[in-house]
Structure 1
Amino acid sequence: MTAHADVIDLAQRLIRRPSRAGIDDYGPVLGVLEDWLTGRGLPYRRLHGDTGDTGDTGDTVGLLIEVTGGHPGPWWALDACVDTAPYGDEAAWSFAPDSGEITDGWLRGRGAADSKLAAAMFCGIAAELHERADGLHGGLAVLLDVDEHTGGFGGARAHLADPAAVRPAGVMIGYPGFDEVVVGGRGLWRATIAVHGASGHSGSRRTAPGAVSRAAHLVRLLEEAELPGADGEFPLPPKLTVTFCHGGEGFSAVPGLCEVGVDIRTTPAFDERAAERLVGQAVGALDVRVPAPRPTAIAPVASWPAYRLVEGGQPAAALLDAASREGLALRPKTAGPSNIGNLLAGEGIPATAGFGVRHEGLHGVDERACLKDLPAVRAVYRRALLTLLNAS
């Protein structure tokens, strides 16, 4: 079996082990990976999540492959997730979401694009470099994350927290997309807002507004808030989205509580402090204009900063140069959505994302990945790593 055929076979077997975040047991998909790695003598270990105050280890959140070079030098990391988005409406799919079949040169099934094919490819690269480890400077870590689509990024967090792991000098994340390399992304600030109101019977003579009515007023205040545009240092503007509004039950009761979710994509010029201040001003205006028995409460739930890699810095420079030498013209891109690169940036670790095969249906119906692109994508990552590891 050729190297590419071996990678494709592994990807097919991964797709046929459903690993939807928060739905499926990750044991079967991890078992496929562990059997493959063991069969090729690759050193790996499981990473476990932190259970909190107990200090005990929790569920497995990833596998970490470590290839130690024969000479001193910095370590570099590849990262791909093997948990996936849910299937959605399975009746809308034209093939089984866990088929793993190949049709007209496309690998089909949930995770084909994001990111089981990339995980298999990175395993193949690790196996190749393991055979020539004596000539490498530093080392290569390959993180196979099963806590990415939850938004918890547990594998990446566990890798960074592991005292036995060498902290990488940079990371390349294997999200799909054939024409661009993501070198930055907006950050985010998310909060749940508890909006209170006067509860009671909908048929009573009381006219005090309920929580849902007050929440609707807050949504208008948030969506009418002025945000700055893009600046010269960062190419994208901030963005505010109200993502949920939960409150009330039935028709005869006026609810006393309604929860509103707000997601703000931040930039260096409009960071998490600015986002929290904007929401605080909207909440303050609500409580003044439409008083309630209790003040509105803001509970932040997640935050990480925007980032953009320094031009010419590693590992982006090695990846872009490798693509050029393989005949590909890649564009550096700053992404609107956040990714693990934001988490890593907060730790001072530069990361690229978003270079991989062409794809369709990512997180949607009929997800598939173009296998025609695999040899070129693999060659680019291989060349970039050999440069970074100063292979001899």
Structure 2
Amino acid sequence: MNPDSVAALAQALVRCPSRGGVDSYEPVLAVLEDWLAARALPYRRLLDDAGAAVALLVEIAGGRPGPWWTLDACVDTAPYGDESAWSFPPASGDVVDGWLLGRGAADSKVAASMFCHLAAELAPRAESLRGGLAVLLDADEHTGRFGGARAYLADPRAERPAGVLIGYPGMDEVVVGGRGLWRATITVRAPSGHSGSSKTVVGAISRAVHLVHLLDAEELPLPQGDFPLPPRLTVTAFHGGEGFSVTPDRVDLNVDIRTTPDFTAEDAEALVRRAVSALTPEPLVVPVAAWPPFRLTENDQPAAALLTAASETGLTVSPKTAGPSNIGNLLAGEGIPAVAGFGVPYENLHATDERAHLAELSTVYAVYRRAALTLLGAEDPPEAQAASSEPS
């Protein structure tokens, strides 16, 4: 692996704006397709239900029977926010003092480039591999739809993976688990009226505030067993009312509950429905999303392969159970184990002046390479090790 080549592809990707739900994904997909085609790597587009391209899938079938494993990196990005606050253009792609600058440098265009290079290295050795290796380049992750991952799982032509390694950045930890979530909208209704009327009207806002207090007062269980985080309930949106003279008849709330193995989506829904039953008329609860929590042990694959590879490369890396959810939760709902959060050091992910440090590229690549070879049951003779360090 030539780190300059990995950096060059990552730069080209950062220079293609690909904000989820804002920019066309065609330019960033075209950069990847040109790179893959130039190396004769087998790839194809994955489409959503509307026929739009939401991912590229690279598939390298091994010459021996065995499970398939997937490397996953998103190539769409978060929005820029206030561009005037950036000290460089959000789509810069420049490397300054060892930092790759721009939105997506950290999440996750460096990882996408690394995984493409790893596929290019392993493809000539496909006959020696057991099972197969897929690289999913997801162009619909930051919308929250996870369209690329969903299209991959729904594709009848794709081999179902035994596990997925998600290339989020950060060298200190490997995310082996995460809290799940249960989300709902709640509609609170009440009679409307004039705010100056002599008749007292308890409007929807007052009723909704009372409901928020009830939800905030609910006691959630402490962490139990091997799962280190407690559940959490947050009211994340509150909409209602207009002007000054009308007592509104409707308020809409969003409720986000992070779940654990001991406090499930069913428990979360029961809690909310218990709270709303204290109001008359009873507010309408509409669940909108539910993902299960997940957690791998250090002996479960693919966590074991990645953690062992990091240790053998000389790194001290800790397994972590994350509070926020990620694609690992979506995969857990499909019964597919996943790890996330190992990559190059970074700063300001999703924030102003996002950047990724490139000095550690070779080390991070070596970890993923070693983990992939372990999962694919491939030996690594000296000549192959030497070839991996040659320019590509």
2:285 is aligned with 1:298 = yes
Which residue in 2 is equivalent to 1:388? Answer: 375
CA distance in 1, matches of 2:220, 2:70: 36
CA distance in 2, matches of 1:195, 1:210: 10
User: Which amino acid is 2:151 matched to?
Assistant: A
CA distance in 2, matches of 1:205, 1:84: 53
Q: Give RMSD over aligned pairs.
A: 1.1
Shift of 1:206: 2.8
CA distance in 1, matches of 2:194, 2:40: 69
**Once the two structures are aligned, what percentage of the paired residues are identical?**
67
Which residue in 2 is equivalent to 1:336? Answer: 323
CA distance in 1, matches of 2:29, 2:79: 18
Q: Deviations over 1:169-188 (max 9, x none)?
A: 11100001111011110000
User: Which amino acid is 1:10 matched to?
Assistant: L
Partner secondary structure for residue 169 of structure 1: strand
CA distance in 1, matches of 2:105, 2:354: 7
Shift of 1:311: 3.5
Which residue in 1 is equivalent to 2:268? Answer: 275
Partner secondary structure for residue 187 of structure 2: strand
User: Which amino acid is 1:357 matched to?
Assistant: V
2:354 is aligned with 1:367 = yes
Partner secondary structure for residue 222 of structure 2: coil
Q: Which moved more, 1:58-67 or 1:182-191?
A: 58-67
Partner secondary structure for residue 263 of structure 2: coil
CA contact (8 A) 2:298 2:307 kept: no
CA contact (8 A) 2:297 2:303 kept: no
2:100 is aligned with 1:100 = no
User: Which amino acid is 2:45 matched to?
Assistant: R
Q: Deviations over 1:241-268 (max 9, x none)?
A: 1101011111122211110001000000
Which residue in 2 is equivalent to 1:199? Answer: 192
CA contact (8 A) 2:57 2:135 kept: yes
CA distance in 2, matches of 1:59, 1:168: 23
TM-score relative to the length of structure 1: 0.95
Which residue in 2 is equivalent to 1:168? Answer: 161
Which residue in 2 is equivalent to 1:85? Answer: 78
Q: Deviations over 1:55-79 (max 9, x none)?
A: xxx3211110001111111110000
CA distance in 2, matches of 1:326, 1:170: 22
Which residue in 2 is equivalent to 1:353? Answer: 340
CA distance in 1, matches of 2:112, 2:273: 42
Aligned ranges 1:185-196 → 2 under 5 Å = 185-196=178-189
Q: Deviations over 1:2-44 (max 9, x none)?
A: 7211111111111111111111111111111111111111111
Q: Which moved more, 1:192-201 or 1:204-213?
A: 204-213
Q: Deviations over 1:324-372 (max 9, x none)?
A: 1110111011111111111111111111100011111001111000101
Aligned ranges 1:1-392 → 2 under 5 Å = 3-51=2-50, 58-285=51-278, 287=279, 291=280, 294-392=281-379
Shift of 1:208: 1.9
CA distance in 2, matches of 1:71, 1:198: 69
Q: Which moved more, 1:134-143 or 1:308-317?
A: 308-317
CA distance in 2, matches of 1:311, 1:359: 25
CA distance in 2, matches of 1:105, 1:242: 41
Partner secondary structure for residue 372 of structure 1: coil
How many corresponding residue pairs? 379
TM-score relative to the length of structure 2: 0.95
CA contact (8 A) 2:193 2:201 kept: no
Gaps of 5+ in 2: 380-392
Q: Deviations over 1:263-299 (max 9, x none)?
A: 00000000000100111111112x1xxx3xx431001
CA distance in 2, matches of 1:73, 1:238: 38
Which residue in 2 is equivalent to 1:55? Answer: none
Q: Deviations over 1:283-327 (max 9, x none)?
A: 112x1xxx3xx4310011110111111340111111111111110
User: Which amino acid is 2:4 matched to?
Assistant: A
Gaps of 5+ in 1: 52-57
Aligned structure 1 segments of 4 or more residues deviating by more than 3 angstroms: none
CA distance in 1, matches of 2:53, 2:358: 30
